[in-house]
Structures are given as C-alpha cells and as structure tokens.
C-alpha cells in the first residue's frame, strides 16, 4: 500500500458527515457516557464509516474503516496531531513521547528507538524473567488453600514490579510496588476525566483531580530522587533509567532531567495497566475456551518445563496469537487525533482542529474485517489475512507505541511462567465485561481457582 502523502482537499466546501442530531446543548453526550464501548460502533452501523458525533464544546468525527485509519495514522500523520485533549495525560509536565509533535517527536523517537529494540530488551531478559517468576510464586498459596484469586489486581502488581525492576534494576518491596499501582491508578482516573471533559467550560469540575494531583506529586518526587541518585552514583546496568540517561541526540546532547523524568513516568503510566489488562483478558478468554487453552498448554509444554530464553520466547507463535486475540476482543473506546488543516475523508469535510476518533473496540469486531468477530479464536492470527489497520491495540503507523516490544516480552514470559506451573479455572458461566480505566479492564475482576499442573 502506498505511503505517499495525500494532497489536502480542494477549496470546494465538502459537507460534514451524517450523524445523529442529539439534544440541544449536550448532543449525544449522555448516550456516549452510558456506553463508551458500544455507542460509537452503533453509530458506524447506522450512518456509515464517517460520522459526525455531536458533543458539547467539540466537533467530533468518527471514522471506522482501516483505509481511514491508514489515512490518519500513517499516510498523513504529519497533518494530524495528538491535540490538546491527549496532552491532558501529562498533567502540565514536560511533554513525553506520546504527545510530542513534529520535529521534536522525530528527534526524541530517533534517540529512544534503540533503547526498545530486541537487542536492548534481550539484555534485560533475565531481570524481567526473574521478577516474573518471583511474582508467580504468590500463586502457590492459592493452589494450596483453594482460595479464589482475583487475577486482575495480581497482574497489575506483577507487571508493575517487572517495569520497576527493568527501569531501576533494584527490586522494590511489594508494599512499594502496590503503592505505585494505587498511585498511578488514581492518576489514571483523574487524567481520564480531564481528557473526557477537555473543551468543556472550566467551571465544570473534573472528578478526582485532587487525588490525581497528589498521585502525580508522589511519583514525580520519587522519580526525581531516583534520577538524582543514579546521576550521583552511576551503575553498570542496562536498565531503562540508564538507557534514558545515556540516550544521545544527533548533536551529542542528552535529555534534560525533567524530560527523563517525564519519559520514565510515561513508561510506568502507559506500560503497567495496558499490559496487565491485556494479560487479564488473555487469561479470562483462555479460561472460557478449552480449545485455545489446550493449544497454549501444548506450546509451553514443548519447552520441557524449562525457562525459555529470549529467542524461544520470541518464537511462541500460538501464545502470541492468544494474546493478540484477547487484545482484539478487549479493544478500547477510542483513539483521537486533530487535523492541522481542513481535510477530506470519504467525500466529507474533516474540519481543522476537530477531534477525529477511531474506535478500536468497533474496528476489532467489525464483521467486514473479521470472521466470527465475537468468537475467541487465536488461530485467526496464524492463518487469516489480517489487515494491520483493522488491528490497532498499540496504535499503528510511525507513532505506534514505542514500548510495544517490551509489552509483548512481558506478556509472553508471564503467560509461559504461569501456564507451565498452574491451571487457572474461571467460574462456570463466566464472561468478561468491559470496564473503562486508562486501559480496558474487566468489570468485577477475574476470580480464578489455582491448581498445580502435574
């Protein structure tokens, strides 16, 4: 598919896309708020692949075709920016990778890309695998007692402990890891409300902002102290902090302190809940699918009970397919971009500075691009032709998440380590339901019983 930039639309005025009328002053905000996942796909089914969604204080355009995703996220990326709504994530901190723009983004991305490639991650592999094995040891108490385990918060702590260990080398006590999880969860809820209410009058209070500010103050102060300690006492380590401190731009300069802190905060904030939630969905779906579960066990059993090395983990094709298929069904409410100038998609006007949204939840379940879209079938990622613009858990195009390889590594090692040792059984009739956090979790958690494997 060509990646040539599409010229901007001519001056001839195009119409806005069709869409619902909504209520005076509030548009469709109440209906959207009641169903963050299902409402946008329902509009696409009713009005087509380009829809005007009337909301207060914003012109929102929903696009729902892989070609449109390619147009926005890849071919014309320079014409679409993350916008002020996404900048709410950083909460007045210096911009980090996800919300940098233009040449500034390219400069930092070039400097950081080598820190997240396979070579850099292979150097961290043993540290990551050690931390995961230590976290999985906590499952043994539930295997002995038979007491149910909610795997959702357990995976939050496990993934956070892995990130912190990969970031700082030093292992933190579990109480400190749990403090990080609770703090960043508070921060995430506050930023989620800021993003959702961006553009609304400032007199309307944003929920949970006090807790969010307290959370930001705590973990930013903690990062300040940690960075200062590392600068004062350098260590021979391949951890993420050293990688950021050692990153060089083309002119030989390095990231200043506040930007190192901002990038570390983003890795923690964006990395822990997204990976943990995707793993939670994977175990939930495997628990509901005997066929997929048998395939996953067969692949890990072929390792002979031994801890795989980096190359072996990278070759676990079926397990990766299980993870991808869970992410497909997990989805997310929306990604958004803002055009820097008027554009045209599907024959409709896309006004400058509007908010263009894509619903991963809807795109991942669209029967035009997925056979039996509601069915959990990892085999589709091994045998079907997948349109990469219809599967966007880490976004797509040049701005695809820089931490994607790290997330897959954590996920594959966690799945392998748990499946080698235990069988996790979900209750009869269990079916995961979507719950919005900064990443999509499962409503009520995932209660499992833990049994040792023979």
Higher-confidence position of 206 and 446:
446
pLDDT at 90: 60
Q: What is the pLDDT of residues 174-199, one digit of tens each?
A: 999 999 999 998 888 887 777 767 76
Whether the per-residue pLDDT at 297 is higher than 70: the answer is yes
Whether the per-residue pLDDT at 427 is higher than 70: the answer is yes
Q: How far apart are CA 386 and CA 363, in angstroms?
A: 12
Whether the per-residue pLDDT at 430 is higher than 70: the answer is yes
Confidence of residue 271 (pLDDT cuts 50, 70, 90): confident
SS3 349: strand
Q: What is the pLDDT of residues 341-362, one digit of tens each?
A: 999 999 999 999 999 999 999 9
Crossing angle for the helix pair 257-288 and 151-168, to the nearest 10 degrees: 150
Structure tokens at 326: 């869970």
pTM for the model: 0.92
Residue 150: enclosing H or E segment and its boundaries?
strand 149-150
- Concatenating the DSSP letter of every residue in 391-429 gives --BTB-STTS-TTHHHHHHHHHHHHHHHHHHEEEEPPTT
Whether the per-residue pLDDT at 56 is higher than 70: the answer is yes
Q: How far apart are CA 17 and CA 52, in angstroms?
A: 5
Confidence of residue 8 (pLDDT cuts 50, 70, 90): low
Confidence of residue 2 (pLDDT cuts 50, 70, 90): very low
Fold of 95-330+398-417: Cytochrome p450 (1.10.630)
Residue 452: enclosing H or E segment and its boundaries?
strand 447-452
**355-358 vs 58-63, strand pairing mode:** parallel
Crossing angle for the helix pair 317-330 and 404-421, to the nearest 10 degrees: 110
Q: What is the pLDDT of residues 310-337, one digit of tens each?
A: 999 999 999 999 999 999 999 999 999 9
Whether the per-residue pLDDT at 149 is higher than 60: the answer is yes
Q: How far apart are CA 126 and CA 122, in angstroms?
A: 8
Structure tokens at 87: 């900048």
Confidence of residue 91 (pLDDT cuts 50, 70, 90): low
pLDDT at 20: 97
SS3 60: strand
- State mean pLDDT over 67-86: 89
pLDDT at 96: 61
The domain locations on the chain are: 95-330+398-417
Confidence of residue 11 (pLDDT cuts 50, 70, 90): very low
Q: How far apart are CA 182 and CA 190, in angstroms?
A: 13
Q: What is the pLDDT of residues 205-238, one digit of tens each?
A: 778 788 888 988 898 899 999 999 999 998 888 8
What residues have CB less than 8 Å from 159, skipping those under 6 apart?
271, 272, 273, 275, 276, 279, 410, 414
Confidence of residue 259 (pLDDT cuts 50, 70, 90): confident
Whether the per-residue pLDDT at 282 is higher than 80: the answer is yes
Q: Let me know how long the chain is.
A: 454
Higher-confidence position of 20 and 29:
20
pLDDT at 4: 45
State phi, psi for 449 to the nearest 5 degrees: -100, 140
Whether the per-residue pLDDT at 3 is higher than 50: the answer is no
Percent of the chain at pLDDT > 90 equals 70
> Would you state the torsion angle of the CA atoms of residues 305, 311, 316, 317, taken in this order, to the nearest 10 degrees?
-160
């Amino acid at each position: 598919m060509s990646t040539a930039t599409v010229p901007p639309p001519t001056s001839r005025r195009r119409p806005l896309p069709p869409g619902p009328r909504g209520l005076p002053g509030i548009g469709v905000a109440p209906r959207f708020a009641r169903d963050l996942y299902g409402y946008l796909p329902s509009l696409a089914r009713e009005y087509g692949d380009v829809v005007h969604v009337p909301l207060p204080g914003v012109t929102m355009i929903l696009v729902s075709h892989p070609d449109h995703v390619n147009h926005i996220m890849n071919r014309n990326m320079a014409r679409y920016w993350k916008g002020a709504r996404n900048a709410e994530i950083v909460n007045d901190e210096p911009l980090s990778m996800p919300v940098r723009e233009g040449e500034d983004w390219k400069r930092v991305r070039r400097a950081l890309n080598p820190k997240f490639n396979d070579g850099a991650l292979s150097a961290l592999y043993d540290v990551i695998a050690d931390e995961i094995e230590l976290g999985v040891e906590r499952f043994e108490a539930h295997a002995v007692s038979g007491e149910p385990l909610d795997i959702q918060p357990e995976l939050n702590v496990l993934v956070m402990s892995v990130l912190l260990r990969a970031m700082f080398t030093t292992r933190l006590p579990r109480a400190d890891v749990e403090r990080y999880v609770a703090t960043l969860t508070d921060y995430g809820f506050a930023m989620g409300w800021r993003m959702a209410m961006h553009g609304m009058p400032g007199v309307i209070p944003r929920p949970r902002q006090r807790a969010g500010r307290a959370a930001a103050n705590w973990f930013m102060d903690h990062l300040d102290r940690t960075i200062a300690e590392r600068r004062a006492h350098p260590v021979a380590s391949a951890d993420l902090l050293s990688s950021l401190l050692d990153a060089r731009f083309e002119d030989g300069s390095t990231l200043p302190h506040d930007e190192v802190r901002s990038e570390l905060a983003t890795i923690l904030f964006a990395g822990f809940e997204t990976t943990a939630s995707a793993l939670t969905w994977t175990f939930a779906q495997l628990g509901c699918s005997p066929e997929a579960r048998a395939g996953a066990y067969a692949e890990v059993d072929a390792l002979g009970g031994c801890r795989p090395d980096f190359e072996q983990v990278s070759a676990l094709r079926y397990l990766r397919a299980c993870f991808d298929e869970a992410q497909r069904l997990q989805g997310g409410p929306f990604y958004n971009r803002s055009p820097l100038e008027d554009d045209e998609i599907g024959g409709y006007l896309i006004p400058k500075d509007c908010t263009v949204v894509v619903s991963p939840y809807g795109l991942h379940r669209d029967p035009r691009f997925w056979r039996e879209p509601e069915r959990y079938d990892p085999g589709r990622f091994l045998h079907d032709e997948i349109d990469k613009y219809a599967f966007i858990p880490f976004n797509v195009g040049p701005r695809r998440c820089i931490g994607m390889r790290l997330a897959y590594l954590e996920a594959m090692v966690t799945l392998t380590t748990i499946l080698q040792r235990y069988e996790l059984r979900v209750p009869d009739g269990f079916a995961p339901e979507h719950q919005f956090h900064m990443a999509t979790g499962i409503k009520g958690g995932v209660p499992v019983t833990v049994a040792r494997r023979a």
